């Protein structure tokens, strides 16, 4: 496989906007043709408009939102560090709580979320938002762990992955049989974790097992990840974006001028890779699209 098989323009990285403190949680919204993301320490949500090539502040005082995804109705589901919950932004701009507790105990600080093929929400719950005042509100862990949870209206909330020290980004393979989760324990010296793990999705999408090491990121850590339609894993890192085949062979490295926090596919035809990296939003033209 050559570079041209994965990216256009030899993988040129274009900076679309700069001016944030720590950029996170990118999401392409097709109905508005905008890329939405968070400046977490700035406690605001930003949007880059593809038609005008301008960036606006969507909302301020947002309680340190992080990862987000579109649900089946087109509403934005997002993680709130400050409110310690998973929530939905309705079309009128109001917010609706999805889940904030497990077994009567508050969540830590939900970080990233993905929708499984069965329609359930899987989200990571590290404790970054209750340990760092610039990313949330200082507080205590109320349950003994930092888990990946599954939530559905029918089943409620349950932990599905409990063996990662600091679970962070997550994404499903195209057929939904594998879920990838990053461990960023090294970020606050909670352990050596700077890798991606893979799990088999079992019980008709209700659980995960057979956790194993998938890939290590040597420069920085793998924060957010995205999986494309051919099952390749695109990972953030301290030095840029690393792309792995489903067998964990590294296929491509795209250097980015700043440490990368997260990334997502979008654009009118779905082949733009948007990269949130520290102060800026970047874009790379690719030859592929998101898995699901």
pLDDT the model gives residue 204: 84
Q: Does 174 map to a domain?
A: yes
Q: Among 7, 89, 27, 17, which residue's Cα sits nearest to residue 52?
A: 17
pLDDT confidence tier of residue 2, bands split at 50, 70 and 90: confident
Is the pLDDT confidence value at 226 over 90?
A: yes
Is 292 contained in some domain? Answer: no
Residues 275, 242: Cα–Cα separation, whole Å: 12
The 8-class DSSP code of residue 238 comes to S
Distance of alpha carbon 182 from alpha carbon 37, whole angstroms: 19
Evaluate whether residue 203 is within a structural domain: yes
Q: Give CA–CA dist 167/145, Å, rounded.
A: 10
pLDDT for residue 163: 97
Report how far residue 77's alpha carbon sits from residue 269's, in angstroms, rounded to the nearest whole number: 22
For the chain, how many structural domains are there in total? 1
Average pLDDT over residues 271-283: 98
According to DSSP, the residues that pair with 263 across neighbouring strands are 275
Q: How many CB atoms lie within 10 A of CB 68?
A: 24
Confidence of residue 131 (pLDDT cuts 50, 70, 90): very high
- Residue 4 is predicted with a pLDDT of 78
d(Cα 156, Cα 102) in Å, to the nearest integer? 9
pLDDT-above-90 percentage for the chain: 95
**Cβ contacts of residue 143 below 8 Å, gap of 6+?**
102, 103, 105, 108
Cα–Cα distances (Å) from 256 to 17, 95, 127, 164, 168, in that order, read: 14, 34, 27, 27, 21
In a domain, 224, yes or no: yes
Q: pLDDT tens digits for 148-175?
A: 999 999 999 999 999 999 999 999 999 9
The predicted pLDDT at position 183 comes to 98
CATH number of the domain where residue 44 is located = 2.120.10.30
Provide the pLDDT for residue 35. Answer: 98
162: DSSP letter: -
Domain range for 134: 3-285
The pLDDT tens digits for 6-33 are 999 999 999 999 999 999 999 999 999 9
Q: Is position 291 within any domain?
A: no
User: Rounded distance, CA 35 to CA 50, Å?
Assistant: 8
* Alpha carbon 112 to its chain's center: 5
What pLDDT band is residue 99 in, cutting at 50, 70 and 90?
very high
Considering the domain boundaries, does residue 101 fall inside one?
A: yes
Instruction: Work out the burial of residue 106: count CB atoms within 10 Å of its CB; fewer than 13 is exposed, 13-18 middle, 19 or more buried.
Output: middle
Instruction: Round the CA-based radius of gyration of the chain to a whole number and report it.
Output: 17
Angle 263-125-159 (CA atoms, 0-180°, nearest 5)? Answer: 120
Q: Do the domain assignments include residue 232? A: yes
Within-domain flag for 290: no
Report, as an integer, the average pLDDT of 244-266: 98
* Average pLDDT of every residue of the chain: 97
Dihedral sign, Cα of residue 236, residue 237, residue 240, residue 245: negative
Residues 6 or more apart whose CB falls under 8 angstroms from that of 153 comprise none
């Amino acid at each position: 496989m050559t570079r041209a098989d994965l990216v256009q323009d030899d993988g040129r990285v274009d900076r679309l906007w700069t001016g944030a403190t720590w950029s996170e949680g990118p999401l392409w919204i097709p109905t508005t043709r905008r890329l939405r993301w968070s400046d977490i320490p700035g406690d605001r949500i930003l949007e880059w408009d593809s038609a005008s090539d301008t960036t606006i502040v969507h909302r301020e005082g947002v309680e340190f939102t992080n990862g987000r995804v579109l649900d089946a109705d087109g509403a934005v589901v997002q993680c709130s560090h400050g409110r310690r919950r998973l929530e939905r932004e309705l079309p009128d701009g109001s917010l609706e709580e999805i889940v904030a507790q497990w077994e009567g105990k508050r969540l830590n600080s939900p970080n990233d979320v993905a929708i499984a093929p069965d329609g359930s929400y899987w989200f990571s719950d590290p404790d970054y938002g209750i340990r760092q005042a610039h990313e949330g509100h200082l507080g205590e862990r109320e349950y003994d762990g930092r888990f990946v949870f599954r939530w559905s209206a029918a089943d409620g909330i349950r932990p599905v992955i409990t063996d990662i020290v600091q679970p962070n980004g997550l994404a499903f393979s195209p057929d939904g049989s594998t879920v990838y989760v990053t461990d960023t324990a090294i970020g606050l010296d909670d352990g050596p974790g700077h890798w991606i793990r893979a799990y088999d999705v079992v019980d008709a999408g209700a659980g995960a097992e057979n956790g194993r090491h998938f890939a290590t990121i040597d420069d920085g850590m793998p924060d957010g990840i995205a999986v494309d339609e051919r099952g390749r894993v695109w990972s953030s890192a301290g030095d840029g974006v690393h792309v792995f085949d489903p067998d964990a062979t590294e296929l491509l490295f795209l250097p980015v001028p700043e440490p990368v926090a997260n990334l997502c596919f979008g654009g009118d035809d779905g082949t733009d890779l948007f990269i949130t990296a520290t102060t800026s939003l970047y874009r790379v033209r690719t030859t592929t699209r998101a898995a699901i």
